[in-house]
Amino acid sequence: MTTRNGGVSKAPYDSFNLATHVEDDLEQVLENRHHLKKALNLPVEPFWLEQIHSNTVVEANAGLILPKADASFSTQKNVVCVVMTADCLPVLMCSKNGEKIAAIHAGWRGLESGIISKTVEALKTKELTVWLGAAIGAQRFEVGDDVRDAFLKKSADYAEAFQENGSQWLADIYQLARIELEHLGITDVFGGEFCTVTDADRFYSYRRDKKTGRMATLIWRD
């Protein structure tokens, strides 16, 4: 996962913005993407998505250009799955045998509609190792009754991911993901210790800044 540092974008996108849809200077974004590819020695251009807060999962395929989806997977070498975030939860998956990979953009809408389960279904295995990237922390993610109710309709287990906060609730997006993974029988889960909102030096945050850049979270097989 990238941070906001090390690129050429100017404020308020300073400096390593990798998104082309946030009104940043396109040439600077492309320069940042070129640096990303070179710095990580990527085998190909990452498989970028047009993320729409859905539960749509696609197989990363060079024939698809910017598909509308929120997760991609691959069983091939030299394919780079990637998602972009600035508070939503990026999730990486890899099968225990190392042959299947996936990257997921998991905002609350995607989590509520089962984006993680849909991706596991696409991978056709639950023998997975999962990593949760940097997202909005549990003490900063205020939501209304509608969000909590939507998750409780799925399962009462999700109640533990919400804390009362006056007339609203504080939602733990990491816990929401872990509960879904636990329901799937997936327990080999790591990450989930950052807060994009409070760590302005390292991370972009849409909730904090509104007009801002995006980090990228990538996974690939050599």
Separation of alpha carbons 120 and 97, rounded Å: 15
Evaluate whether residue 126 is within a structural domain: yes
Residue 151 lies in a domain: no
Q: Which residues of the chain have pLDDT under 50?
A: none
CATH number of the domain bearing residue 61: 3.60.140.10
Domain span at residue 92?
Answer: 26-139+186-220
pLDDT recorded at residue 169: 98
pTM score, two decimals?
0.95
pLDDT value of position 184: 98
The pLDDT score that the predictor gives to residue 168 is 96
Does 103 fall in a domain?
yes
State residue 112's pLDDT score: 97
In a domain, 48, yes or no: yes
| pLDDT value, residue 63 | 81
The answer to whether 112 touches 126, Cβ cutoff 8 Å, is no
pLDDT at 62 (0 to 100): 78
Confidence at residue 222, expressed as pLDDT on a 0 to 100 scale: 87
Helix (H) or strand (E) holding 204: none
Q: Is residue 102 part of a domain?
A: yes
Does residue 7 sit within a domain? Answer: no
Q: How far is CA 140 from the centre of its chain?
A: 17
Structure confidence at residue 190 (pLDDT): 98
In a domain, 20, yes or no: no
Whether 174 maps to a domain, the answer reads no
Number of domains in the chain: 1
- Coil, strand, or helix at residue 215? strand
- Report d(CA 34, CA 13) in Å as an integer: 17
Q: What is the pLDDT of residues 185-208, one digit of tens each?
A: 999 999 999 999 999 999 999 999
